[in-house]
Amino acid sequence: MIEVDGLTKVFRRDGEEVPVLRGVSLQVARGEIFGVIGRSGAGKSTLVRCVNLLERPTSGRVRVAGRDMTALDGAGLREARRDIGMIFQHFNLLSSRTVLGNVALPLELAGRSREESRREAAPLVELVGLSALAGRYPAELSGGQKQRVGIARALASRPEVLLCDEATSALDPETTQSILALLKDIQQKLGLTVVLITHEMQVIQAVCERVAVLDRGEVVEQGPVFQVFTAPRSEVTRGLVRDVVDRELPPWLRARLAAGAPAGTSPIVRIIFTGPSATTPVIAQAVRRFDVLLNIVQGHVDYIQGQPYGNIIVEAEGAPAAVEAALAWIRGQDLQAEILGHVARDG
Ligand SMILES: Nc1ncnc2c1ncn2[C@@H]1O[C@H](COP(=O)(O)OP(=O)(O)OP(=O)(O)O)[C@@H](O)[C@H]1O
């Protein structure tokens, strides 16, 4: 549905050229929710604005639904943009218009009568759950309600693609979840293709199927959300994922960790469970089968795209051969077990 190929964008600032996008390529399939994540200044907003040509790329190509956006201008571009709705972090509503008036605006701008526009806008106001507030003005709405208006307005021209630029960044976590649930719901009902720009991994985790990580204008990693979260390949991604999947050792343990395996120490082992193995009682079974103790020192089970992902750190106590056999058995159960170092046994 969206193909971005070798996209670059160079801004001029104080007579200097500032490259903001440096050869971005990505493909978004029809009907998926695709996330683009990156730190502030990575170029996310510029990227999404290049998709609907609000910003003209310096070089490279953008195709949406098979149409070369970069080759269009004037009336052709205006028509193509009707297929692409957009929602913004700060909603961008007209304060002088009611909820219904805001949602009807794109239709009026496209030349429809006021009555017809409002008639067509009403079901969209209902779709986002605001029928009871249709006559209110933006100043009388909460942030979440304003974003619902933004979503309904973006849908007014019946777009196939919805671009969301930090759509939940101004909202509290609970409202964020309700807006994400709404986006997912309408994406499924209307078969929309959604591109979601954010700096929060939680947002990606909640609704996206695939994700691209943008850093300093480059895509450093992209793939299915579960894969990128559980096996991040770049340092930037590891930093972003840390907010969601905490892979850090607690400081007291890190301080005690020794390299090698001196006598009188026990290994500290990170055990990673993914998919179906996350619900099997592997640790209990290993303790029962081998003469070892596996003391849990830290543990999380996260759900990413509905799949469990467990990250458990244990201290493995027992004779070295028994510990080795237990870890080999755990690995045979399709789990990862990585020795992080050794700690002196208490007492
Ligand atoms: N019109 C412009 N002229 C000059 N520089 C710009 C312009 N728009 C963006 N930039 C610069 O491009 C870089 C990337 O900005 P962009 O807004 O795309 O990043 P972002 O990842 O969306 O960050 P944020 O989440 O903070 O908005 C920044 O350094 C910004 O200052």
Q: Which tens digit of pLDDT belongs to each residue from 102-129?
A: 999 999 998 999 999 999 999 999 999 9
Residues 6+ apart with CB under 8 A from 43: 9, 20, 21, 24, 214, 216, 217
pLDDT for the residue 272: 86
Question: Which of 44, 48, 169, 198 is the pocket-test mutation for ligand 1 (most atoms within 8 Å of CB)?
Answer: 44
- Residue 198 in contact with ligand 1 by CB distance below 6 A: no
Question: Which of 12, 18, 166, 216 is the pocket-test mutation for ligand 1 (most atoms within 8 Å of CB)?
Answer: 18
Report residue 346's pLDDT band, with 50, 70 and 90 as the boundaries.
low
Mean pLDDT rounded to a whole number for the chain: 91
Fold classification of 251-344 is: Alpha-Beta Plaits (3.30.70)
Note the ipTM here.
Answer: 0.93
> Where in the chain do CATH 3.40.50.300 domains reside?
2-244
Task: Report the nearest-CA residue for atom 25 of ligand 1.
Answer: 40
Cα–ligand 1 centroid distance for 162 (angstroms): 21
pLDDT for the residue 45: 95
Question: Which of 7, 11, 163, 166 is the pocket-test mutation for ligand 1 (most atoms within 8 Å of CB)?
Answer: 11
Report residue 232's pLDDT band, with 50, 70 and 90 as the boundaries.
confident
Report residue 310's pLDDT band, with 50, 70 and 90 as the boundaries.
confident
> Where in the chain do CATH 3.30.70.260 domains reside?
251-344
Q: Which atom of ligand 1 is nearest to the CA of 46?
A: 18
- Residue 42 in contact with ligand 1 by CB distance below 6 A: yes
pLDDT at 347 over 50: no
Report residue 304's pLDDT band, with 50, 70 and 90 as the boundaries.
confident
* Matching CATH number, 2-244, of 3.40.190.10, 3.40.50.1820, 3.40.50.300, 3.40.50.2000: 3.40.50.300
**What are the pLDDT digits (tens) for 17-27?**
999 999 999 99
Cα–ligand 1 centroid distance for 145 (angstroms): 27
**What are the pLDDT digits (tens) for 123-177?**
999 999 999 999 999 999 999 999 999 999 999 999 999 999 999 998 999 999 9
Chain centroid to Cα 274, Å, comes to 19
Residue, of 275 and 185, whose pLDDT is higher: 185
pLDDT for the residue 309: 84
Q: Which atom of ligand 1 is nearest to the CA of 217?
A: 14
pLDDT for the residue 261: 67
pLDDT for the residue 279: 64
